[in-house]
Amino acid sequence: MKFLRNLLASIIGGLIAFGILFVMFMVFMALVGNRDGTVGVKDNSVLELQLQYPIEDYVGMDDSDPFAGLFNVNQGLDELLHAIRVAKEDRKIKGISISNSVLLAGLSQTHAIRNALKDFQESGKFIVAYGDFFTQKDYYLASVANEVFLNPVGAMDFRGLSTEVLFFKELQEKTGVKMEVIRHGKYKSAVEPFIANEMSDANRSQIKELLDALWGTVLTDISESRGLSVDDLNQIADTLGARTTTYALKSGLIDQLAHYDEYEARIKENLGLDLEEEINYVALEDYIKTAKKKRLHTGKDRIAVIYAQGEIWYGEGGPNVIGQGIINEALKKARKDESVKAIVLRVNSPGGSALASDIIWREIEITKEVKPVLVSMGDVAASGGYYIAAGANRIFAEPTTITGSIGVFGTVPNVSELAEDIGINAEQVGTNKNAVEYSLFKPMQETFRNNVQEGIAEVYNTFLDRVAEGRGITLAQADSLAQGRVWSGVDAKRLGLVDELGGLDDAIAAAAEMVDLETYRIQRLPKYKSGFEKFMEDFGGTGAKGKEALIEKEIGAEAYKILKEVRSVMENKGVQARMPFTLQIK
């Protein structure tokens, strides 16, 4: 009987495996059958922007890979902006419809999309926007439209920016598991949640000033598009003057309360269609595939754009982690390629390993001796993110970029109190006086703390040297802008930490001008693993992505957010040049 059960289980397992392989084979054949993935665009079409997936600066899949993008739901900002620019020149595209809810993009990414849409409007084509409800970021994007529509029974959020910082000091005292913290910099508060139960005045001050600067940019853009003064917009936010759909309409933030069929009737009117006629929508994800075949830049010479996005870790790196391995390899490739005349490094990072940051900085210094290197900052280019940017020939930042945070810290986990409570005693034996430098199970000795403090001070001074040299200022001036303080792109420009306010396109144009190029192509680096490869790594929840999804599902989104924040600090190795806090701006 046992034999028959085992036999039956083996047969069923084999059939399941065969079924999975068959489905994957059919998907592969379907992809090969439509390799280019392009769609036909009919006359009098409307490009439909429904940004439903997380947006990254760069996805980096190889277009020749038939599985590229199949298992990756993230949207590349570079591809999205390119599609909008191609649509501007496409005579078949008459307008754009933005029908989006809960935009999964950073504030600077939203600003970049908005600017591309403003440029699209200069062609004389229309943009309309519709929402069943608008979050603040959704509305910020939608406000660029010629007309903004809201569902009559929908909702709208317009109240100003805010953020929340979690503190864990009391949790540490209750559990006996704590983080020993050594920091350098008045504002270096990445570790503040582990040493205090409330926000310091210095940290509160810098967060308030940062939010004010970001909100100021948002209001200026909305004011220009909607014809409302900044003071009026602040009044609406302070009084929650858009808390109902009727108030949102009366405030002037939207143009009309309408159901979706009424919204489509307005689009048909713009297209010159009768009400019974169908609108030729082209989905953004489909149009991106078509737009990829159309180059806006041509020429034999190239400008390389190298994307550095995510936290900085010592090692190889990947799509969402900056490692010296993959970034330096891309820099070397661009440096040795004679067709590449200039390099733009796109940085979107809160920082991380000081060692890896310095290794990348050095590779940029070597590269600058051969060809110019410019930096374009995304949502965040802080601490280690600023470290790798500091030496560039020229630095561009968006007004809403979070940058600076020139400072370093170290964290060392310690469980000595927990060990004592549960009856664990650790004894050490060594050959020399300092052979046993530190034990997780013993209280931190002052000699060890002093040694770590000395190392952190040395890294901080090196960081200041890099900034002073790169920005052409004195060490004293660099120190006055440092201390871990974060700045908006607007303030960073005023203080001289960046050269220009602008997006990636502005940095590319400046790079072309620097090397006297009138025509050129864009080469994007690095290339990452295909969606299929990552899928196989995560198949069955055995990969990192699958495990993380399972944990989040089991403990809930809020608890998972806390877990990630604590784990991120506990996994830090070596001295960290990291942004001073985790900001969830809402």
Rounded average pLDDT over 520-528: 94
Q: What is the spatial distance between Cα 515 and Cα 504, in angstroms, rounded to a whole number?
A: 17
Listed residue (312, 189, 220) closest to 583, CA to CA: 189
Residue 57: C-alpha distances to residues 110, 149, 350, 415 (Å): 11, 29, 14, 39
Q: What is the spatial distance between Cα 307 and Cα 535, in angstroms, rounded to a whole number?
A: 22
Cis before residue 413, ω within 30 degrees of 0? no
- Residue 354 near residue 387 (C-beta atoms within 8 A): yes
- pLDDT tens column, 167-197: 888 999 899 988 888 877 665 566 788 888 9
- pLDDT tens column, 84-127: 999 999 999 999 999 988 899 999 999 999 999 999 999 999 99
- pLDDT tens column, 335-392: 999 999 999 999 999 999 999 999 999 999 999 999 999 999 999 999 999 999 999 9
Numbers of helices and strands, H then E, in the chain: 21, 22
Given 94, 188, 371, 534, the catalytic residue: 188
More confident residue, 54 or 547: 54
pLDDT above 70 covers a percentage of the chain that reads 81
Residues facing residue 322 across a β-bridge: 312
* pLDDT surpasses 80 at 472: yes
- Residue 352 near residue 578 (C-beta atoms within 8 A): yes
Buried-exposed string 481-490: b where 16+ CB fall within 10 A, e elsewhere: bbbbbbbbbb
pLDDT grade for 128, boundaries at 50, 70 and 90: very high
Strand pairing category for 321-322 and 373-382: unpaired
Give the per-residue pLDDT at 298. 86
More confident residue, 312 or 555: 312
* pLDDT surpasses 60 at 544: no
Under CATH, what is the fold of the domain 302-424+438-578?
A: 2-enoyl-CoA Hydratase; Chain A, domain 1 (3.90.226)
Rounded average pLDDT over 437-446: 87
Q: How far apart, in Å, do the first and last CA atoms of the chain sit?
A: 62
Out of 3.40.640.10, 3.40.50.720, 3.90.226.10, 3.30.2130.10, which CATH number does the structure's domain 45-159+240-291 have?
3.90.226.10
Given 108, 383, 416, 530, the catalytic residue: 383
The segment(s) of the chain belonging to CATH 3.90.226.10 are 45-159+240-291, 302-424+438-578
Cα–chain-centroid distance for residue 525?
A: 17
Strand pairing category for 351-353 and 576-578: antiparallel
383 classed as catalytic: yes
* pLDDT surpasses 90 at 585: no
* pLDDT surpasses 90 at 491: yes
Please provide the DSSP assignment of 350-410 as one string: -EEEHHHHHHHHHHHHHHHTTS-EEEEEEEEEETHHHHTTTTSSEEEE-TT-EEE---EEE
Q: Extract the runs of DSSP E, i.e. beta strands, from 190-301.
A: 256-257, 280-283
